[in-house]
A = this chain, B = another copy of it.
Amino acid sequence: MGVSLKDVAQRAGVSVKTVSNVVNNYPHVTPHMRAKVQQAIDELGYRPNLTARHLRKGRTGIIALAVPELGNPYFAELAGAVIDEAARHDYTVLVDHTAGLREQEVLVSQGFRSHVIDGLILSPIHLETEDLTGRDETVPLVLLGEREYEAPYDHIAIDNVAAAREAVGHLVSLGRRRIAFIGSRTGRERQPAHLRLHGWREELTAAGLMPDDALVAATDGYGRADGAAAMAALLDRGERPDAVFAYNDLIAIGAMRTLVERGLTVPGDVAVVGFDDIEDSRFAAVRLTTIAPDKQTIARLAVECLLERLAGHPAEPRRTRPQYRLLVRESTGAVPAGQHLTGRGDASAAPG
């Protein structure tokens, strides 16, 4: 097998401890000793066995990130940001996906694999507060996303109600009156889309428009196909909204596809706003106006939170609200000039 500390020690004619000291940059080592040991290390091609180190220290240097679906670009982009952020702190990320299934989310949150990971970042969809009781408290948990929990864990999420209100408010300011919401969840006692739906209601009410439940379209999942189907269902039952606020960009993109197929124009007949700011939205045939959460910051905060807990800083569980922006693009009829080619030049409205 591999070369061990002992082999190096033998080769260098010193004790194991000394080699360990050199490897770990322990300050009090004679330069001469250090050189001798280093030479043995180089000659033998020694590489520390992290598993052993971890067993000893009780840390693995690995954190887990569990998201619903890597196929959803929002989560893929977020995962990428988390990996980068973790690497910055010499941590590696084990990525898992739950398909948004409560059962899977429970499994992950209850510390499935707990002995391999130092901490967990979880973005749940159908997990409930009661699932979080009796967790193995030795593995810190940071929650991400819209769902709210009555449990003592750090939670990082933008202000979903405010963001949704801003999206709907934008539509209202454009003169839209029949604003649909697509992406509520079918037949669930608890509503994952709760906050965004709530924001939709509040803003409409504030604008003096009656929130019309006939304009709320449920979906089975959160993908493009779900958005397309829900939009079709809405139109099929005779509703004719003049705007759509979608739970996320994928649903919005699916909905736009259906609108086009039905001969309706975006934003002419129907204006559309999404949520997430995934890259696809910037290159759609009609660029999508959307709420852009600050993914970098979310990733950074999540990792930092976790590492602070790991470092043993007690602190109260924190509720952190990163920034977001409303990016106004073609799908709501505002087309700032000269940004066609890059897909970068977004017009931004009020920050969160």
| Shortest Cβ gap from A105 to chain B (Å) | 15
Q: Quick one: which of A292-351 are within 8 Å of B by CB?
A: 340-344
Write the chain B residue with the least CB distance to A280. B280
Q: Quick one: which of A91-121 are within 8 Å of B by CB?
A: 92-97, 111, 113-116
Q: Do A55 and B58 form a contact, CB below 8 Å, given A83-B95, A232-B341, A257-B285?
A: no
Q: List chain B residues, Cβ under 8 A from A224.
A: 279-280, 282-283, 343
Write the chain B residue with the least CB distance to A232. B341
Interface centre among A76, A256, A284, A343, by most chain B C-beta atoms within 10 angstroms, is A76
Write the chain B residue with the least CB distance to A257. B283
CA distance A40 to B159 in the complex (A): 46
Q: Quick one: which of A202-230 are within 8 Å of B by CB?
A: 223-225, 228-229
Q: List chain B residues, Cβ under 8 A from A50.
A: 113, 115-116
CA distance A52 to B55 in the complex (A): 6
Write the chain B residue with the least CB distance to A58. B1
Q: Which of B47, B92, B93, B115 contacts A51 (CB 8 A)?
A: B115
Q: Is A54 an interface residue (CB 8 A)?
A: yes
Q: List chain B residues, Cβ under 8 A from A229.
A: 341-342
Q: Do A76 and B71 form a contact, CB below 8 Å, given A225-B344, A343-B228?
A: yes
| Shortest Cβ gap from A144 to chain B (Å) | 16
Q: Is A42 an interface residue (CB 8 A)?
A: no
Asked whether, in the complex, the Cβ of A342 is within 8 Å of the Cβ of B47, the reply is no
CA distance A51 to B260 in the complex (A): 54
| Shortest Cβ gap from A92 to chain B (Å) | 6
Q: Which of B97, B225, B286 contacts A342 (CB 8 A)?
A: B225
Q: List chain B residues, Cβ under 8 A from A93.
A: 94-95
Bitwise interface map of A from 63 to 85 toward B, beta carbon under 8 Å scored 1, else 0: 00000011101001101100100
Q: List chain B residues, Cβ under 8 A from A115.
A: 2, 47-51
Asked whether, in the complex, the Cβ of B62 is within 8 Å of the Cβ of A70, the reply is no
Q: Do A285 and B258 form a contact, CB below 8 Å, given A76-B70, A225-B344?
A: no
Asked whether, in the complex, the Cβ of A77 is within 8 Å of the Cβ of B70, the reply is yes
Q: Is A253 an interface residue (CB 8 A)?
A: yes
Q: Is A261 an interface residue (CB 8 A)?
A: yes
CA distance A342 to B286 in the complex (A): 20
Write the chain B residue with the least CB distance to A285. B285
Q: Quick one: which of A225-242 are within 8 Å of B by CB?
A: 225, 228-229, 232
Q: Quick one: which of A105-147 are within 8 Å of B by CB?
A: 111, 113-116, 136, 138
Asked whether, in the complex, the Cβ of B253 is within 8 Å of the Cβ of A51, the reply is no
Q: Is A274 an interface residue (CB 8 A)?
A: no
Q: List chain B residues, Cβ under 8 A from A340.
A: 261
| Shortest Cβ gap from A216 to chain B (Å) | 20
Q: List chain B residues, Cβ under 8 A from A97.
A: 80, 83
Q: Do A80 and B69 form a contact, CB below 8 Å, given A50-B113, A115-B51, A340-B261?
A: yes
Q: Is A254 an interface residue (CB 8 A)?
A: yes
CA distance A97 to B92 in the complex (A): 11
Q: List chain B residues, Cβ under 8 A from A192.
A: none
Q: Is A267 an interface residue (CB 8 A)?
A: no
Knowing that A62-B62, A83-B96 are A-B contacts, what are 12 other residue pairs whose CB atoms are under 8 Å apart, sorted by A's residue number? A2-B115, A47-B115, A50-B113, A60-B116, A70-B79, A228-B341, A229-B342, A232-B341, A254-B283, A256-B285, A257-B283, A280-B280
